[in-house]
């Protein structure tokens, strides 16, 4: 089982960034607008209503400019030199909805698009682009009460430094007295503790869910999962111990001492995407006395036999994109249900191993937590 | 007077990034280490104990690679192609201590160094490099209690959106009951609300000052000063009204409603660097009922005649780098003192219009506030 998860993770990581909705040539509608993730005052990259992306890079003396987004096997999108000395190009087909990482190859070197903002993925700050999604309303910034996202530096004797975490507190937390349950939510390989708020809009998803009365407010904590020492294809070499110590012995006590939490196993959840799911599975099984809600987002599955004491588990949530391996998630949840676990599966339609899958997964998971 | 400040700002902005300690050729000591602002696992850029910076850019097929840091008039540092296909180069002389923005010109296009982290300046996310400073202890991350930095999204009816601010709360704030005074601290032209925490390490400066008992703890608030619609040389076209409305009518009421502040003129300070100083001067003079402590960091001066009601002003703090125009700051403070203002000048030794000047200025200013 463990090997299977590792292989799943490896496969999905290698396909990272190359998820095209369709490759056929269609008529491109010329309604391109700047991507919502552009740097201030930057027109390019642009996206159109079909999901095509168009790039423009200024490098008049370059010989070759290529954007990593595009059809996987064919090395992305090759830009052509325009008459003004810039390089321009449009993806061969529409992209999947949501967030994509990318970079730009210029004369053999890997750089970022100066028009786009940067997001931490693949162990580097990458360019980001947003393909408008039909369901983007749930993570849109609206005129509603907003929770705060706090950067905390917590002492970590085991790593001999202060480590960073981000803590989402629900609207009104700061002047209230109520205590809240906590979700510890992990990023994937190549990412860090900035991913869930920056790429994932976890704070806006929560603000909107809370405003609509769809969830009981809770706190979210993101920290770095120490995953990035592991190179492609060597995930089986990853050892959980260092991160488990940071999370269980250092971060959770800090959060419980500095925030108004309900500091109990019954009010604590752990979730993670991709390699963060692998971490979640390992730590929830190692430490059943710490968490009672478990969620793996494109990050493997639990089998009924994995869990020693069923009475300690309130929910198992498994999800992935429809372009990943939904049958694995669906079958695992069926088996868990047969064994009388409270298990839920969610398949994100027409998305792959990317953040749109995980934004939607959080949106589906949040109402199921801390009931 | 106003024209003079505008000219000062223009001059200093144009010289931005080109402040060399000395240009003479000396023997370069080969003790280069990765800059502390590099992306994870990145070796380059490197800095040595003398303040030289060394760059390495991978772009095997490029014709020309140049780093913007270096001697102003000569267009920075030209990299040379090394035998492994990379481009390498070392600054012609040592750099000033502290933080510098830079970018990389590759075949005529402006990109960032893939080895360095990015910082918002010049209306773009720029590469950043840190030249170790003899006095870096005061902004070093230490094993001391750390305040939190909260990202808040506050409603702004005047601009019809939710705007972002960062709020530093002192260690222990989150579980305490005490109320605190507030410093509203502005970035410069080309920057945004991320500058003071990212480039300035304002949170670490405060953590260390508080731990050493050198200051009474207070809250710091950073928001975007709406300065960046103004291009080089057109700063006189800047209108303060839109930002003044956001700050006075929207942000301050939000902060006072959501944080435990002492919501009084006597416990509120405003400070700003460069164009943020110009904003500070204008707003403190327009709204003497809101702030009682004023500080301009490389951002102009006050004359005694600028101020209508002397009794409302508790402190005027003026600073700049020794490579700027210290005589203007010193003379202004002399005139203010003669007119019986509590005025203090600070000149940062051997620094220019850059963040090391402003880190030091905050360190000097903080103990004078809210006495």
Instruction: Give residue-wise pLDDT tens across range A88-105.
Output: 999 999 999 999 999 999
Domain carrying residue A98: 2-132
Q: How confident is the model at residue A233 (pLDDT cuts 50, 70, 90)?
A: low
Minimum mean pLDDT among A220-234, A236-250, A256-270, B18-32: which range? B18-32
Say if residue B192 is in the same domain as residue B104.
no
A279 Cα distance to chain centroid: 14
* pLDDT for residue B232: 66
Say if residue B177 is in the same domain as residue B121.
no
* pLDDT for residue A232: 65
Say if residue A120 is in the same domain as residue A142.
no
Say if residue B357 is in the same domain as residue B252.
yes
pLDDT at B298 over 60: yes
* pLDDT for residue B103: 97
Of B74, B97, B131, which residue constitutes the final position of a domain?
Answer: B131
A145-198 pLDDT, tens digit each:
999 999 999 999 999 999 999 999 999 999 999 999 999 999 999 999 999 999
Find residues 218-277 of chain A whose CB sits inside 8 Å of chain B.
228, 257-259
CA-to-CA separations, A319 to A235, A344, A357, B194, B303, in angstroms, rounded: 21, 8, 8, 35, 64
- Give the number of domains in chain B: 2
pLDDT at A231 over 60: yes
Dist CA B243 CA B240 (whole Å) = 6
Residue B60 lies in a domain: yes
Say if residue A237 is in the same domain as residue A301.
yes
Residue B277 lies in a domain: yes
Say if residue B79 is in the same domain as residue B202.
no
Q: Taking residues B302-328, report their average pLDDT.
A: 97
Residue B312 lies in a domain: yes
Q: Which residues on chain B are in Cβ contact (under 8 Å) with A167?
A: 148
Instruction: Tell me how close the Cα of B253 comes to any Cα of chain A, in angstroms.
Output: 14
A328-370 pLDDT, tens digit each:
999 999 999 999 999 999 999 999 999 999 999 999 999 999 9
* pLDDT for residue B303: 98
ipTM over 0.90: yes
Helix (H, G, I), strand (E, B) or coil at B328: helix
Q: Taking residues B345-366, report their average pLDDT.
A: 98
Residue B332 lies in a domain: yes
Say if residue B173 is in the same domain as residue B105.
no
pLDDT at A20 over 50: no
pLDDT at A291 over 70: yes
Q: Do B161 and A141 touch (CB under 8 A)?
A: yes
Q: Residues A116, A67: contact at Cβ < 8 Å?
A: no
B123 interfaces chain A, CB cutoff of 8 Å = yes
Say if residue A223 is in the same domain as residue A262.
yes
pLDDT at B308 over 60: yes
Instruction: Tell me how close the Cα of A52 comes to any Cα of chain B, in angstroms.
Output: 24
Q: Taking residues B25-49, report their average pLDDT.
A: 95
* pLDDT for residue A350: 97
pLDDT at B1 over 80: no
CATH (domain of B67): 2.60.40.10
Instruction: Tell me how close the Cα of B86 comes to any Cα of chain A, in angstroms.
Output: 9
CA-to-CA separations, B36 to B40, B47, B99, B126, in angstroms, rounded: 10, 9, 10, 16
* pLDDT for residue A261: 98
- For residues B84 and A34, the model is more confident at A34
Q: Residue A148 is nearest to which of B39, B152, B155, comparing CB atoms? A: B152
* pLDDT for residue B233: 65
Say if residue B117 is in the same domain as residue B144.
no
Residue B168 lies in a domain: yes
CA-to-CA separations, B278 to A305, B225, B227, B295, B304, in angstroms, rounded: 67, 11, 10, 10, 16
Residue B14 lies in a domain: no
Q: Residue A61 is nearest to which of B63, B118, B124, comparing CB atoms? A: B63
Residue B6 lies in a domain: no
Of A99, A116, A132, which residue constitutes the final position of a domain?
Answer: A132
* pLDDT for residue B320: 98
Stated as kind and residue range, the H or E segment containing B47 is strand B46-47
Say if residue B117 is in the same domain as residue B142.
no
Burial of B29 (0-12, 13-18, 19+ CB in 10 A): exposed
Minimum mean pLDDT among A61-70, B82-91, B136-145, B234-243: which range? B234-243
Say if residue A228 is in the same domain as residue A244.
yes
Of A74, A97, A132, which residue constitutes the final position of a domain?
Answer: A132
Give chain A's mean pLDDT: 92
pLDDT at A11 over 60: no
pLDDT at A245 over 60: yes
Instruction: Tell me how close the Cα of B280 comes to any Cα of chain A, in angstroms.
Output: 24
Residue B123 lies in a domain: yes
Interface test with A, best of B38, B151, B250 (most A CBs within 10 A): B151
CATH (domain of B259): 3.40.50.1820
Say if residue A75 is in the same domain as residue A57.
yes
B177 interfaces chain A, CB cutoff of 8 Å = no
* pLDDT for residue A21: 45
Dist CA A78 CA A187 (whole Å) = 31
Beta bridge partners of A34: A46
């Amino acid at each position: 089982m463990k090997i299977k998860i590792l292989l799943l993770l490896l496969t999905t990581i290698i396909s990272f960034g190359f998820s095209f909705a369709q490759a056929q040539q269609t008529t491109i509608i010329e309604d391109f607008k700047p991507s919502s993730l552009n740097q201030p005052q930057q027109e390019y990259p642009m996206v159109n209503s079909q999901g095509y992306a168009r790039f423009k890079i200024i490098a008049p003396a370059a010989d070759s400019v290529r954007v990593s987004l595009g059809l996987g096997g064919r090395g992305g999108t090759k830009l052509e030199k325009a008459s003004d000395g810039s390089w321009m190009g449009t993806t061969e087909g529409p992209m999947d909805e949501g967030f994509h990482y990318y970079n730009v190859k210029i004369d053999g070197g890997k750089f970022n698009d100066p028009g786009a903002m940067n997001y931490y993925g693949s162990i580097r700050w990458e360019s980001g682009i947003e393909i408008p999604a039909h369901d983007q309303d749930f993570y849109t910034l609206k005129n509603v009460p907003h929770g705060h996202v706090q950067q905390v530096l917590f002492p970590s004797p085991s790593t001999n430094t202060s480590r960073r975490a981000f803590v989402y507190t629900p609207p009104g937390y700061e002047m209230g007295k109520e205590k809240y349950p906590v979700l510890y939510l992990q990023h994937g390989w190549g990412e860090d503790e900035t991913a869930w708020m920056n790429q994932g809009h976890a704070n806006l998803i929560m603000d909107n869910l809370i405003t609509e009365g769809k969830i009981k407010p809770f706190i979210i904590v993101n920290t770095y999962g120490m995953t990035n020492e592991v190179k492609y294809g060597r995930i089986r070499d990853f050892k959980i111990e260092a991160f488990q110590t940071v999370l269980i012995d250092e971060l959770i006590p800090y959060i419980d001492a500095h925030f108004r939490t309900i500091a109990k196993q019954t009010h604590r959840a752990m979730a993670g995407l991709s390699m963060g799911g692998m971490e979640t599975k390992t730590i929830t099984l190692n430490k059943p006395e710490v968490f009672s809600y478990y969620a793996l987002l494109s990050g493997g599955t639990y089998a009924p036999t994995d869990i020693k004491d069923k009475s300690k588990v309130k929910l198992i949530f498994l999800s992935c994109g429809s372009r990943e391996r939904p049958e694995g998630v669906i079958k695992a949840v069926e088996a868990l249900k047969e064994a009388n676990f409270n298990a839920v599966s969610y398949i994100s339609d027409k998305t792959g191993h990317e953040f749109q899958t995980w934004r939607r997964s959080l949106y589906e998971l949040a109402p199921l937590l801390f009931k």
